[in-house]
Amino acid sequence: SDLMSAQATPNSEKLYARAREVMPGGNTRTTVYRKPHQIYAWRGDGCRITDVDGHIRIDALGNFTSLIHGYGNRQILEAATRQLEAGTCFGMPTESEIRLSEILCERLPSVEQLRYTNSGTEAVMNAIKAARAYTGRPKIAKCEGAYHGTYDPAETSQDASPATWGDIDRPGSVPTAKGTPQGVLDDVVVIPFNNTPVAEAILRASGNSLAAVLVDVMPNRAGLVPAKSEYLAMLRRVTRELGALLILDEVITFRLGYNGAQSRFDIDPDLTTLGKIIGGGFAIGAIGGRAEVMSVFDPSKGQPAVPHGGTFSANPMSMSAGIAALEELTPPAFEKLEVLGDRFDQGIRACFARHGIKGQVTGLGSLRRVHLTDAPLSDYRSTFASADGAARVSALAKALFDEGVIIAGNGLMAFSTAMEDPDIDDIVRAFDRALPE
Ligand code: PLP
């Protein structure tokens, strides 16, 4: 392919030098996330990235989980190109926005209407605003350790919530340099993930001040362990009894099934937040739900509508690329992702056994996470209590990077339909070389 014959210009040192001038501490993403590995990508092709120095690596993290068809997918490329050629007009309605919504409404059983934002963070913030507006109540419950986006509570207004701020309940995390406005924090209720009786008692104690419970069925930060069905059933039952809403954060987990994680986990939320892959690699976020709740965004309903859109919301690039991505995401594509995920799971378990390592793999389908600890991962505290395991995984991610495979510093991976069995085998072989004897 032209990727193999083309030459990257070896210039990462020059780029680092320029970044030190205008963005000391690293580029936006590397500063924020302090990843163990930082590359300047030159180009991506399928599941592989070539950096500016010509090194080729498998991206086992799917462009930070935002791509499910790999780089340079032909259909997405053509859809985006058609859109660019047609012009990209912001702030005007487009047919592509309607079409993307139709596809998502068709697939997600609980979603009848959608509104778009530019990121998953904004989708969650707006779902929280919608829940507060709909119920007239302040409190939002979230699961301990779950990440719902970057949002600094010190910057918060009465409309927003630090529930989106992933580190807020992370043991040892420092609130913010500016301090944390306690009044706002009081509006966030933290419930233990997968601990049904304790979570239920905490929710009931919030009674009629609870606006919503925000939940991700397989929170990555909290270990990528699937929610128990009795836990999700309790959240649904108790929110209904208390007159609160259930918000399902599917920003990552939408990639778990043709009809979303909500079908796979048999949960019926009032609002759903989406992002990442639904934009085909372009910036996107979405809030969906049944008409009655979504009416808070509708200015024709009489009440002041919850403000949510911005210049780039529902931008035509994301809409048209998203349509192409979802059209490619057929039931057979999901079957393939399950097979790839299971192949990795089996390969890595055998690899752990060969090395005599007490490791674990969590996750489902195309989302998997590697842990280098045998501590039980059933709750957030034990996951992060094992700081030792976390440090070993971060060192492993660095070693894998040197072996040509990119995973997240916490061990997260997101496979793509651009991968085949031999790519998974390459990843497992890289683990074999990177793991200590
Ligand atoms: N919610 C979940 C579950 C996420 O994993 C993320 C991002 O990783 C977000 C929300 C925030 O999305 P974004 O990074 O697009 O703001």
Ligand 1: residue of 61, 116, 255, 276 to mutate (most ligand atoms within 8 A of CB) is 276
SS3 188: strand
Residues with CB under 6 A from ligand 1: 119-121, 124, 147-149, 216, 220, 249, 251-252, 275, 285
Strands 41-45 and 48-51: antiparallel
> DSSP letter string over 200-260?
HHHHHHHGGGEEEEEE-SS-TTTTSPPPPHHHHHHHHHHHHHHT-EEEEE-TTGGGG-TTH
285-289: strand order across its sheet: 113-117, 285-289, 271-275, 245-249, 210-215, 139-143, 188-191
What is the widest separation between alpha-carbon atoms in the chain? 67
Q: Name the residue ranges covered by the structural domains of the chain.
A: 2-68+332-434, 74-328
Where residue 224 falls among pLDDT bands split at 50, 70, 90? very high
pLDDT, average across residues 211-231: 94
Where residue 175 falls among pLDDT bands split at 50, 70, 90? very low
The secondary element (H helix, E strand) that includes residue 191 is: strand 188-191
Ligand 1: residue of 249, 251, 255 to mutate (most ligand atoms within 8 A of CB) is 251
CA distance 20 to 8: 22
Q: Is the pLDDT of residue 386 over 80?
A: no
Q: Is the pLDDT of residue 173 over 80?
A: no
pLDDT, average across residues 187-203: 92
2-68+332-434: CATH class? alpha beta
Q: What would the pLDDT profile of 329-360 be if each residue is shown by its tens digit? A: 999 999 999 999 999 999 999 999 999 998 99
120 contacts 251 by C-beta, under 8 angstroms? yes
pLDDT of residue 185: 58
Bridge partner residues of 188 (DSSP): 140
**Ligand 1 atom with the shortest distance to the CA of 283:** 15
Q: How many residues does the chain have?
A: 437
**Ligand 1 atom with the shortest distance to the CA of 121:** 16
Instruction: Answer yes or no: pTM beyond 0.80.
Output: yes
For residue 75, give the amino acid letter: Q
Ligand 1: residue of 67, 148, 410 to mutate (most ligand atoms within 8 A of CB) is 148
pLDDT, average across residues 410-434: 97
- Domain 74-328 falls under CATH 3.40.640.10: yes
Q: Do domains 2-68+332-434 and 74-328 have the same CATH topology?
A: no
CA 121 to ligand 1 center in whole angstroms: 6
Residue 436 Cα distances to 149, 256, 372, 376, 396, angstroms: 33, 32, 11, 22, 9
Where residue 20 falls among pLDDT bands split at 50, 70, 90? confident
Where residue 161 falls among pLDDT bands split at 50, 70, 90? very low
Q: Which of 103, 127, 133 is nearest to 115 (CA)?
A: 127
What residue owns the CA closest to ligand 1's atom 7? 149
Q: Is the pLDDT of residue 283 over 90?
A: yes
pLDDT of residue 158: 36
Cα atoms in the Cβ-side hemisphere of radius 13 Å centred on 44: 22
Where residue 437 falls among pLDDT bands split at 50, 70, 90? confident
ipTM: 0.99
425 contacts 347 by C-beta, under 8 angstroms? yes
Q: Which residues contact 136 (CB under 8 A, 6 or more apart)?
A: none
CA 300 to ligand 1 center in whole angstroms: 30
Q: What would the pLDDT profile of 69-109 be if each residue is shown by its tens digit? A: 999 999 999 999 999 999 888 888 899 999 999 999 999 99
**110 versus 7: which is more confidently predicted?**
110
What residue owns the CA closest to ligand 1's atom 13? 120
